[in-house]
Structures are given as C-alpha cells and as structure tokens.
Amino acid sequence: MAKRPQPAPALRRAEGLPVTGLDPSGAGVAVTPEGLEVLIPGALPGARVSFDYQPPRPGGRRGLAAGFTELEPSPDLDPARCPLAGECGGCPAGRLAYARELALKTQTLVVKPLVEAGFTATLVRAPIGHPGDRRTGWRNKAVLYPGLIGGEPHFGYYRARSQELVAAESCPQTPVWMGEAARSLAPLLLDADLSPWREADDAGALRALLLREAPGTGERLAALVMRRLPADPRAAEALFERVRAALRPHGLTSLLINLHEAPGSAVLSFAPDATRVVDGRATIRADWMGLSFEVGAQTFLQVNTPQTPVLYRTALDALEVAPEDRVLDLYCGVGTLTLLAARRAREAFGVERVEASIACARENARVNGLENARFTAAPVEKLLASGLPDGWRPTVVIADPAYQGLAGGAAESLAQLLAASGARRLAYVSCNPKSFARDARVLCARGMTLRSVTPVDMFPGAMHLEVVGVFERA
C-alpha cells in the first residue's frame, strides 16, 4: 500500500532577525532563536527582517521563508548596481556593494567546501575581482527568453524559482546593441510563426534568442532557437525576411536558426544540421588573447570578455610552462587553453569528448599556425583509464571540466597518470568549487599536494566563482 504524503508543517513566524549570510543559491540566511537556519530568497546579509517560514520536513535541515518584510536594509546595499537585481533570477548578489559580494562569495562558495573537505582555509588566495571599470557590458553572449508581460511582447530572464518572465532587454551586463536587437525583434512575438514556445502544452514556436559578440573584432551573431518552423517553405522564407528586416539595423554578421524540436530546458540543439544560416556567415571571427578563431552558435566560449584572459593567465602562470614542456589539456573544448599553452611550450595535447569541438580546435590550431598543438576526441575519463596514445607523457597538466568536475573516475585516473608520467604540476580550473573540493580530496589521497586555490570572479552579481587550484606531486 502506497504511503500517503506527509502534510507540510504549518508556517511559523520569526520577527526582527538579522540576515547573517548568503546561501550558495543566493538566498539570505537567518537563524531563529531555536537555532534553525532559514533560507530567505531575496534578503541581503546585514538586513533585519520578519518572515513566515516553512519548517523543514523530517530529515530536512533548513526552513524556507514564504516572503519577508524588511525592517532595516543591509548597510551593504548598493541599489545603483543593477535596476533588475532582485527581480530577475540571474544576479541574487547584484544589489550588494561589490567588495562585500566578493568576500561573501569567497567564504561561502570556496572556503567553506574546502574546509569541509579537510583542507585549510589558508590555501585560498585573495580573490581576483572583476575590474571596476568593466562591470557593465562585459558579456559576449546572452540567452534571452521570449514572452508576454502584461500583454506586451518582451525578451528577458526568469524570476528566481519561477517561470515568470522579467523583461531584461536593458540588462547592464550585456552590450547595448544586444538589448536594442531584442527590442527590435520583440514585436514579432505577436506573429503566430514566432510566438513564444510553452513547454507545458507545446504551443508556440520561439524558444530563445541567443546573441554573441566576438571579442576583438566586435562581429555580431544572432540565433533564433525554434521549436518548429512553418511547414510551407514560402511561409518560412517570409518569416525569415521579417526577422532580417527587424534585425538589419543592428549590424549582424551572422543570423542563424537553430531548430530544437526536443523537449526540455537545454537551450540549443546539437543535432546534425540543426543550425542553418538565414543571413551572413555561419560563424563570427574572434581575435582574443593573441589568437584568432571562429565562433558559432554552439561554440563554447567563456562569456566574460575582460576576465577570461585573467583566468587563463592565472592557470598558465601557475603551471610555470617552460619551452621544453609538454602540456596536457583535459576538457579542452575548442582548444583555447591548449593553444595558449602551445605558444609557451614544446607541445600541447588537448582532449575533449565532443567531436565537433575537436574539429574546431584543429582548425583553430591551423589558422593560428600552431603546429605543436594536437587534439583527440574522447571522453576524458576513458582516455585516462586506457592511457594516452603513443605513450605520450605530459610534464604539466591542465584540467578545465564542466560543472560536475572530474566525474566518472577521472580524478582517480588523473592521479595515476600524474604519478606514472612524472608530471610535476596540475592546474585545475573549476566552475564549481564544491566538485573541485571533492576531487582535490581524491587527488591528494593519491599522492598530490594542493598548494593554492585562487578564486576568479567571472560573473559579478551571480553566486558563482571560478577557481584555479594548483597541485604538485607530494
């Protein structure tokens, strides 16, 4: 007999409590007189608030506030940073003074998981914050979602923990032209062939608008992500012409359609022939960090134009790459770090599971005349377990995995490779300090020593920090 679900505990009231910190989710944290931590979405550290909250269910550890009343604002409030902060879900720390934000993120996202994993907080170096003169317009990519707000067509982001759209054409993180292009296209959302798609009932056509600006050249790309296109080719071409006309004033190099017919929240389809050119070229050219490479709708590229060179330079400088070195770059994507390393080293070898990315990496090496860079398409965990081809032995290693970190046994296999090859140093670039701390325990249990961890802020306003961890053989 199936168990009946337990009813949620009744709401309780808390009066005049200080918000003492930020949770990794971006919610404020307060502690009741009974010692229970309660998450308060939208509340800032330093504020004093009253709220009703849902106590945790059996086995839970935290309560959750159902809204709050602010009695005293946070002394660190900086409302001038972003007019959308507190509305859209992208930047829960975007109303804090930046110095306070950076300190809170470092403690919450980096120091805490490392200490919980058994490391000392002294390993964490001073965070590299975002340059003060580049805290607007730093994004080279934006993904905006379509919808009707008060009956008016808009592009925007979703409010935290909801499917409610917030108009965000004026997001200060994006270049001005991106907002202007979104506003020009928005009236076409009233067109049946470009109406906003709804996953709940599979109605509508347009899933998202992706906009990119190539660093160095300023070339511009727009891709409309479509659930469906008009069945009649003449109607489809008429739709494309309306889109061309709306976006023509914005100087696009590339106008693309990405046909994404599968359900789910993934932005793009990576199916063969999913992306087609409506106008211009299939890619835009970036000149960045002394490299030239092509960028398409599906190309992975760090979105922060001023901070990406800082992040990559931090990793390469930590490796102390010398002209005689052989650099192994794991999870290399389109080879940006591999090619940067190849300019310093005897040879660089990039590994990435996505074959299309490896094809781009090889082309990028050719375009930049770097004949000492080679690449292979394979899952990192499988390649490490089976061994590198031709007995290739690195002297230093870079790992830059996705959010899940060194998954699938890759941490154990990497530790074995480092020991067998005699590689002297590993620079681990992580977008998830929690999975980094987990992997650091594995690496250190198998003969490596963690020397330092440097946080780098790539997303001011968001609860996110990249870290560069430096390991050496014990």
pLDDT in tens, 325-337: 999 999 999 899 9
pLDDT tens digits for range 121-146: 999 999 999 998 888 999 999 999 99
Q: Of 183, 176, 157, 154, nearest to 91 (Cα)? A: 157
Pair (248, 273) in one structural domain: yes
Q: Can you give the pLDDT at residue 256?
A: 97
Structural domain includes residue 231: yes
Of 98-102, 160-164, 214-218, 362-366, give the lowest mean pLDDT range: 160-164
Q: Of 232, 123, 229, 242, nearest to 188 (Cα)? A: 242
Q: Quote the CA–CA distance of 322 and 149 in Å, as a whole number.
A: 56
Question: Does the annotation count 431 as an active-site position?
Answer: yes
Q: Can you give the pLDDT at residue 133?
A: 86
Pair (196, 327) in one structural domain: no
Give me the chain's average pLDDT, please. 93
DSSP string computed for 377-419: ES-HHHHHHH--GGG---SEEEE---TT-STTTHHHHHHHHHH
Pair (269, 330) in one structural domain: no
Q: Quote the CA–CA distance of 297 and 210 in Å, as a whole number.
A: 8
Q: Quote the CA–CA distance of 435 and 110 in Å, as a whole number.
A: 11
Pair (266, 408) in one structural domain: no
Structural domain includes residue 132: no
For residue 328, give the H/E element and its range: strand 326-330
Pair (268, 343) in one structural domain: no
User: Going by DSSP bridges, is the β-strand pair 12-18/48-54 parallel, antiparallel, or unpaired?
Assistant: antiparallel
The neighbouring-strand residues paired with 166 are 157
Residue 392 buriedness (CB in 10 A; 0-12 / 13-18 / 19+): middle
Q: Of 245, 262, 272, 253, nearest to 211 (Cα)? A: 253
Structural domain includes residue 217: yes
Q: What are phi and psi of 473, to 5 degrees?
A: -70, 135
More reliable by pLDDT, 85 or 291: 291
Q: Quote the CA–CA distance of 65 and 62 in Å, as a whole number.
A: 10
Pair (64, 144) in one structural domain: no
- AA identity, residue 473: R
Q: Mean of the pLDDT values across residues 409-413? A: 95
Structural domain includes residue 149: yes
Structural domain includes residue 323: yes
Residue for token pair 């010692």 = 35
Q: Can you give the pLDDT at residue 6?
A: 64
Structural domain includes residue 195: yes
Whole domain around residue 211: which residue ranges? Answer: 139-288
**Cβ pair 172, 136 in contact under 8 A:** yes
Q: What is the CATH number of the domain that holds 316?
A: 3.40.50.150
Structural domain includes residue 5: no
Expressed in percent and rounded to 5, the helix, strand and coil fractions of the chain are: 25, 30, 45
Q: Which of 24, 42, 72 is the last residue of a domain?
A: 72
Q: What is the CATH number of the domain that holds 250?
A: 2.40.50.1070
Q: Of 360, 417, 412, nearest to 387 (Cα)? A: 417
Structural domain includes residue 147: yes
pLDDT tens digits for range 243-288: 999 999 999 999 999 999 998 889 999 888 899 999 999 999 999 9
Pair (164, 275) in one structural domain: yes
Pair (315, 186) in one structural domain: no
Q: Which of 288, 317, 333 is the last residue of a domain?
A: 288
Binned at pLDDT 50, 70 and 90, residue 473 comes out as confident
Catalytic residue, candidates 82, 171, 360, 431: 431
Q: Which of 26, 51, 72 is the last residue of a domain?
A: 72
Q: Can you give the pLDDT at residue 89?
A: 76
Pair (346, 440) in one structural domain: yes
pLDDT tens digits for range 6-20: 666 789 999 999 999
How is residue 40 written in tokens?
């308060």
**Cβ pair 332, 338 in contact under 8 A:** yes
Pair (164, 270) in one structural domain: yes
Pair (160, 284) in one structural domain: yes
